[in-house]
A and B are shown apart, each in its own frame.
Chain A
Amino acid sequence: MKVTVDEDRCCGAGTCVLLVPEVFDQREDDGVVMLLEAAPAEGFHAAVREAANVCPAAAITVAETA
């Protein structure tokens, strides 16, 4: 799995951090998403997909790799 985030689209709602704080965080100065782990461990895959699903700004993209 490869995760990318679009900082320009992010609206800082924090829904991704709520679901997977191991993979997502927010910048201290403006609350915009920070990707902590672009290739998260398998145990986080379902939660990361859900974070992309509920992101209100569609700022998270998940590419499934073999």
Chain B
Amino acid sequence: MTSTVETSPAGVPDFPMERAAGRPFDPPPAARAKQEESALTRVRLWDGSTPWLVTRYAEQRALLSDPRVSADIASPGYPSPAPLPKDGGSRISFILMDDPEHNRLRRMVTAPFSMRRVGAMRPAIQQIVDDLIDELLAGPRPVDLVDAFALPVPSLVICELLGVPYSDHDFFQDNSKVIIRRDAGPEERMAGHAALTGYLDRLVGEKEAHPADDLLSGLAVRVTAGELTRAEAAQMGVLLLIAGHETTANMIALGTLALLEHPDQLALLRESDDPRLVASATEELLRYLNITHNGRRRAVVADIEVGGEVVRAGEGLILANDIANRDTSVFDDPDRLDLTRDAHRHVAFGFGVHQCLGQQLARLELQIVYSTLYRRIPTLALAGDLADIPFKHDGSVYGVYELPVTW
């Protein structure tokens, strides 16, 4: 691992960039250097294309709110993070569509993620977390926290919400991993996607016949009413299933590691029962770690003047939210993890109409985990050296593959 930047003959740096050795929680230094120079700069992708990297907070928010900017992966110039299958591949539902179609589909699944509905899940989530900690404490040490806790928490929660049997978790977790691995080949990713889509398609079919009180049953009712095809319902199910656990699981494991490496901050959480501190700590960890480290991807559909440049129709945009969350014009001393700061303006969930649908659920899960795990296991410690932890440099979502802990 080095912190040097690969530069093509034309002087345009390659993207994604590498993090610095020994700085696993910080964005790539080369990206921060570009941010200091200008709000927009060119980068080179795997396919030789040179989209704009939007480096600063204000310009990212402006562009992600701009109707001349498209999230549709089929728009000319869209900077694809990896090769697409030859047939263009299947879109992972509405996150890769524009309004009005995006809005129509997103609204069908928004209600279960509202503040009120998510809040009602608090006792159930607390129970899931407590039960898993009971199992941890009764089991062997050291243990891999990813496998034994970080992944099961959100997986159990999203299964409950969607109405997916948790007993199938090996199947859908294995396929999710392939889909979000940056270096997986297009055919491999498509196979993983097809397996999950087929699985959700069958589940929606079963729920058409026997609807229950869960999100997939809500979609099944719409399929029966002709508002949605079963294929669309299955696509949405795949999206929510993947998004529902890969993200939160990584925030639990990476967040725990970051806290173990900042013992003064961990002590604040462990010794406080103030829900305001738990809430600010959660926002700060979201800001500081920003696990969606490949940037939001968009295409320009009409020329826009922004940040001293004109971005042209047909050009690609990469909005690097990891470095926006370290923008000194918004956050004081941004490289410091400070659980007491007010970090709520972070863009870890993105910005614009595509901003994370599940953010209130993610917040609640993280608040419950961060306020429970370290109080119940106050001597929690890393079993081994930070240098040996395998980080997900190759993932579209950053985190750790394993986190051996003891107490």
Contact = CB atoms under 8 A, between A and B. Distances in A.
Interface of A: 9, 11-15, 17-19, 21, 25-32, 53-54, 56-58
Contacts of B356: 13
Contacts of A21: 115
Contact of B355 (A11, A17, A19): A11
B111 A13 contact: no
A56 B114 contact: no
A13 B359 contact: yes
Given A13-B357, A25-B116, A56 B352 contact: yes
A12 B352 contact: no
Nearest to A59: B353
Given A13-B355, A57-B353, 4 more contacts: A17-B114, A27-B111, A31-B110, A57-B352
Contacts of A19: 344
Interface residues of B, number: 26
Nearest to A21: B115
A11 B111 contact: no
8 contacts: A12-B113, A17-B116, A28-B114, A56-B64, A56-B65, A56-B351, A56-B352, A56-B353
Contacts of A54: 344-345
B276 interface: no
Closest 9 CB pairs of A and B: A31-B110, A56-B355, A12-B110, A26-B114, A17-B115, A11-B353, A31-B114, A14-B115, A31-B111
A31 B359 contact: no
Contacts of B111: 12, 26-31
B275 to A, nearest CB: 13
A31 B113 contact: yes
Nearest to B111: A31
Looking at A9, A13, A19, A56, which has the most chain B CB atoms within 10 Å of its CB?
A13
A54 B356 CA distance: 13
